[in-house]
Structure 1
Amino acid sequence: MLQQETRDMDGHYEFVTVSDEATIAFRRYGTPGKPRLLLIHSLALDGSIWTDVISGLQGQAEILCIDCRGHGWSSRAPLSYAIERYADDAAEVLDKVGWDQVVVAGCSMGGCIAQAFAVRYPKRVSAMILIDTTAWYGEKAPQEWRARAQKARAEGLASMAAFQATRWFGDRFRAENPRKIQEMMEIFVRNDLDAYEATCIMLGDADLRSALSGFHFPVSVIVGEEDYATPIESARQLAKAIPGASLTILPGARHLTPIECSDVIAEAIAKMIEAAAH
């Protein structure tokens, strides 16, 4: 009997030139023929935030993990950074690899993009996991996100690294995982300032609330108990607005739970993959 192909769990980068000539980098993992999962990362990092989650899902899914435009190995500025463009990037990558429908999971910025993807391509979503995210950052968001971008440009991203580490990860996790924190901070400080600014503006302007009642597929909302970036109340409002959505609060965790609580996130995604199959 022929042995089923299993891709190297380290993955290798592939590239798609999308319709506005940007290049989008992505990696594939897992076993062909298994349920298909699209992973979308958070602001100023890249697809590597999902590394431990992917390991936790070994044998359960065929996984596609993208580097969003302006991030990682994908094209940087000058580009369009409208949230709809991010959603179209995901669709065009899926077209390239011949995937029609997926379970989609997004963390923080990736959760906003996942929602935009579901708005533009509802038939391509079989289930969705929204992690440490929101549909709207609030009335003051346009000014606050622009101020963050201006601070990065004026003072440099390195000046913000300690703040980001504390905002993203709980005290215990930072103390016990210095190498992982260093790895994420190195990715953060390598960001292109023009791309970072444009992405901040996109998030500040994003408002997906009006679309949430139209999501008619299984949805799981997950948030860290100590998430100051997208607090519990934001997650509650998000789950309340989506028909049938569940809400899970992770004790002691902060804003990047795919890194801080990878086993729990992998288990939650596995449950949604199962829900999508029924």
Structure 2
Amino acid sequence: MEHKSVKSERGTTHYWINKREDKNARCIVFTHGLTANHMMFDKQVEYFSNKYTVITWDVPLHGESRPYTDFSYENTAIELKTILDVENIQQVILVGMSMGGYPCQEFAIHYPGKVSAFIALDTTSLGQSYYSTIDRWWIKQVEPMAKWFTDKMLRKSMAKSVSKTQYAYDMILKMLEPLSKADIVEQMGIAYGRVFDRKESVHFNFPVLILVGEYDKTGKVKHYCEEWSKKEGYPLHIIKGASHFSNADNYDDVNKEINNFICGL
């Protein structure tokens, strides 16, 4: 993977690309979750790079894409558009994990002609219609609650709450390692604080697949995924033996699900 970056007045956004020489090769963009970075998709990069152009990136405010001012999911979509313009990539398949689903959806809203498909991986729909007032209130309590944890307890509790396997647990801790507790809390506060910027629900006309871990107990993600699938008619597949970080807990099944979905486009 080649490490590159793009700049805007808000900051520098870092990305990694494995570009196929075959100009007809599809491009998959993997977008990571909150407090994580591009390493979240190591097992997917390994699996898909021999056939597809693959892009991973550190979402603004995360990983090496710090510092970053004026964070919003709309602005993350603009940064992704810049990356694709630099690479002269016209069409992408978006894979967004947890928080990473929101930059993907914003990108698809603003640039629908550039999206071939979207895989929603342990993530939820934009728009307020799925979330009750109390749900929205609890989401905004994540940052103040995190402040009460010691640094060590916060990291371990975060890793334990989203993983079922040792690999996934260790990967979370590895991605958190470069961050201070203040960094983690800041990312939580800003990212969760902007989730409901977009009030209206959105229907996508391109194919969408929802994947969620069998044991995903992060908030009400699994419930929201089920409601999203029912309302919009998007297929929902359960990843066996996996928690919220399903693409690490059971990367074999996630990779097969994504590959089968793409092959069926």
TM bracket, shorter-chain basis: 0.7 to 0.9
| 1:143 is the counterpart of 2:137 | yes
Q: Who is 1:162 aligned against?
A: 156
* 8 A Cα contact 1:36 1:102, kept in partner: yes
SS of structure 1 residue aligned to 2:201: helix
Does the Cα contact within 8 Å between 1:41 and 1:108 map onto a contact in 2? yes
How many angstroms apart in 2 are the aligned matches of 1:145 and 1:232? Answer: 15
Deviation of 1:60 (Å) = 2.0
Q: What are the Cα deviations for residues 136-173 of structure 1, in whole angstroms up to 9, with x where unaligned?
A: 57233443233221233454553312221221112xx1
1:40-81 CA distances to partner (integer Å, 9 max, x unpaired)? 00100001110011112232210111110011111224x112
Q: Residues of 2 paired with 1:104 and 1:110: CA distance?
A: 10
Check if 1:88 corresponds to 2:82. Answer: no
Q: What is the match of residue 42 of structure 2?
A: 51
Per-residue Cα deviation, 1:72-119 (whole angstroms, up to 9, x for no partner)? 111224x11221111112111111111111011100001122111111
C-alpha contact 1:76 1:195 (8 A) present in aligned 2:
no
Unaligned runs of 5+ in 2: none
Aligned 8 A contact 1:127 1:219 in 2: yes
Q: Distance in 2 between matches of 1:208 and 1:222?
A: 24
Aligned equivalents of 1:94, 1:100: Cα separation in 2? 7
Aligned residues: 254
Q: CA deviation at 1:242?
A: 2.9
Q: 1:165 to 1:189 in 2, by over 3 A?
A: same
Q: Give the Cα–Cα distance (whole angstroms) in 1 for the partners of residues 256 and 199 of structure 2.
A: 27
**Contact 2:15 2:58 (C-alpha < 8 Å) held by counterparts:** yes
Secondary structure class of the residue paired with 2:89: coil
Give yes or no for the alignment of 1:74 onto 2:68: no
TM-score, normalised to structure 2's length? 0.87
Q: Distance between the aligned counterparts of 1:208 and 1:63, measured in 2?
A: 31
Question: How far apart, CA to CA, are the structure 1 residues paired with 2:66 and 2:143?
Answer: 19
What is the aligned-residue identity percentage? 21
Q: Name the TM-score, length of structure 1 as normaliser.
A: 0.83
Change (3 A) 1:190 1:128: same
Which moved further from structure 2: 191-200 or 38-47? Answer: 191-200
Contact 1:40/1:110 (<8 A) preserved: yes
For 1:61, the aligned partner's letter is: Y
User: Match of 1:198?
Assistant: 190
In structure 2, what residue type is equivalent to 1:188? L
Q: Contact 1:14 / 1:26 at 8 angstroms: preserved in 2?
A: yes
Residues 181-230 of structure 1: per-residue CA shift (max 9 Å, x gap): 23421322533243442112123x25566212xx1111110001111124
Query: Residue 160 of structure 2 contacts residue 169 of structure 2 at CA under 8 Å; is this kept in 1?
Result: no
RMSD: 2.1
The aligned runs of 1:108-127 (5 Å cut-off) are: 108-127=98-117
- Of 227, 240, 260, which residue of structure 1 is paired with 2:216? 227
Out of 257, 261, 265, which is 1:268 matched to?
Answer: 257
Report SS of the residue matched to 2:194: helix
| Distance in 2 between residues matched to 1:189 and 1:153, nearest whole Å | 17
1:258 matched residue in structure 2: 247
Distance 1:97 1:82 in 2: 23
Q: What is residue 3 of structure 1 aligned with on the other side?
A: none
- 1:162 is matched by which residue type in structure 2? K
Q: Which residue of 2 aligns with 1:64?
A: 55
Which one of 119, 123, 126 corresponds to residue 129 of structure 1?
Answer: 119
Q: 1:185 aligns with which of 155, 164, 173?
A: 173
